[in-house]
Amino acid sequence: MEASAGWRCRPGGRLDMSHGFLRHIRRNQIARDAYERAVRQARGRARGRLIPAPPRPRRPDQQVYRPRRPGGPGGDASPDPPSGDPRGPRLFCLEYEGDDGHVTAVIVHQGDSAEDVTRRVCARSPLEPPLRRALCQRVQDELSKRRGTG
């Protein structure tokens, strides 16, 4: 077989590598490796110099539940009623937050009426008559649900 005029072949059928194409590829690979090593070292040094900042909340607008302590602000002063309480056992704690952000908490017992509970809430944070009626209805619904009559 004769080699065509445009082909450069060496004896033994090997390719002519004198064009230097692979040399350029190797040089680029070596330069890229050196650059990546320098970047990694710079990142490592930069990490060590940073002073840790105080942790910030991830979502500052997210509300966090904090249980109330008996006798705390807005809570009922008596932690547990005596066993002979004429109003019966506790059913739930009603918390009402007014427009000013003040939270009024009232413990509701099994023997309480919706009107009594509404009166206790209104004694701590006054309500307009329509809101008072709505609160009374809501308390009545909750009482009937928990007493098993609703």
* 33: Cβ contacts below 8 Å, ≥ 6 apart: none
Q: What is the pLDDT of residues 35-68, one digit of tens each?
A: 999 999 988 876 655 566 776 666 666 677 778 7
pTM across the whole model: 0.43
Domains of the chain: 90-147 (3.10.20)
In the chain, which stretches have pLDDT less than 50?
75-79, 81
Q: How many other C-beta atoms are found inside a 10 Å radius of the C-beta of residue 52?
A: 5
CA neighbor of 89 nearest in space, from 108, 62, 106: 108
